[in-house]
Structure 1
Amino acid sequence: MSEPLRVLLVEDEALILMQLEMLLEDAGHLIVGTAMRAEEGVALLLETRPDLVFVDLRLAGDSSGVAVVQSAREIGGITCVFITANSRQLTDELEGAAAVIAKPFSGSVLEDTLAFLEQALRRPPPELAVPHGMRVAPAARESWALMEG
């Protein structure tokens, strides 16, 4: 594995948060912070400058993961992936995120997604195919030089 990804998790469901943390740490990546609300996530973006953010669309306190993604885009150099049961509410552009994974998801979907994202971020274009259960935004598809299909 290349240098570990620095990952921020913005998720208000404790079990999903623990599952993500365990998978990422087992894969050798560094969790730089966790948040349950958008404003906490934005503050951690500024503080930690992660490589990758996994963010739920609907967060605690009626906050939205879209605010986290917008802030990450303003900062620049941060890739966001929505993990949500509300993926149909996202536009084709995924509100600025690179990709979306629909809940519920399996551990194998997360493992495949993480391997794909590591390649996409560290050595594009990724050799792995887009994982089943993951939708990639057109801008990320272009940035990662993914083939259509």
Structure 2
Amino acid sequence: MSDPLRILVVEDEALILMQIEMMLEEAGHSVVGTAMTAAEAIAQIEACRPELVLIDLRLADGSSGLEVAQAIRERDGITAAFMTANARQLSEEMEGATAVIAKPFSEAVLEDALAYLKACVRRPPPSEPVPNGMRISAECLARFDAMRH
């Protein structure tokens, strides 16, 4: 990949975190940090300046990915996406995140989602349809629609 995304992964299960990190790197992206709690993630956002933050909804120490998404919402130039088995718990607005990728997911689903998210980050609006296994927030869809017209 010519221009890899700088990604922070926020996941509380170590094995899943390592698997996601490996899949991202194999897809040509750069994992600039990892975190297992909301506090660690927010500190990592400041330290490594990612373009994309992939966030599990339920984190260690009883913290929530919602806290991370809220912190990202207040910063320019960073896109948040949830990766969770609890995707149905999120509203259509996804608490400020751009998208949700439902777990479990295959490597192909993750690669398609990353290509779409890269377009969201680098050259919005994405020209491709929303990939299978991924949902985009109503707010983002409306913003992309406005950009096209």
Task: Note whether the superposition's TM-score is higher than 0.5.
Answer: yes
Unaligned stretches of 5+ in structure 2?
Answer: none
**1:64 alignment counterpart:** 64
Q: How many residues align structurally?
A: 147
**2:74 alignment counterpart:** 74
Alignment root-mean-square deviation, CA: 1.7
Q: Is residue 125–residue 146 contact of structure 1 (8 Å, CA) maintained in 2? A: no
**2:91 alignment counterpart:** 91
Unaligned stretches of 5+ in structure 1?
Answer: none
TM-score by length of 1: 0.90
Specify the SS of the correspondent of 1:40.
helix
Q: Is residue 126–residue 146 contact of structure 1 (8 Å, CA) maintained in 2? A: no
Q: Is residue 84–residue 102 contact of structure 1 (8 Å, CA) maintained in 2? A: yes
TM-score by length of 2: 0.90
Q: Is residue 25–residue 31 contact of structure 1 (8 Å, CA) maintained in 2? A: yes
Specify the SS of the correspondent of 2:128.
coil
**2:121 alignment counterpart:** 121
Specify the SS of the correspondent of 1:92.
coil
Q: Is residue 102–residue 134 contact of structure 1 (8 Å, CA) maintained in 2? A: yes
Pairs within 5 Å for 1:123-138: 123-138=123-138
Instruction: Deviation per CA, 1:9-59: give whole Å up to 9, x if none.
Output: 000122321222112112221111000011000000111111000000000
Instruction: Tell me: CA distance 1:20–1:146, structure 2 relative to 1, closer, same or farther (3 Å).
Output: farther
Pairs within 5 Å for 1:7-86: 7-86=7-86
Q: Is residue 124–residue 145 contact of structure 1 (8 Å, CA) maintained in 2? A: no
How far apart, CA to CA, are the structure 2 residues paired with 1:124 and 1:48?
23
Once the two structures are TM-superposed, the CA of residue 126 in structure 1 deviates from its matched residue by 1.9
Percent identity for Structure 1 against Structure 2: 59
How far apart, CA to CA, are the structure 2 residues paired with 1:39 and 1:71?
10
Moved more, 2-11 or 93-102: 2-11
How far apart, CA to CA, are the structure 1 residues paired with 2:113 and 2:24?
11
Q: Is residue 11–residue 35 contact of structure 1 (8 Å, CA) maintained in 2? A: yes
How far apart, CA to CA, are the structure 1 residues paired with 2:75 and 2:24?
23
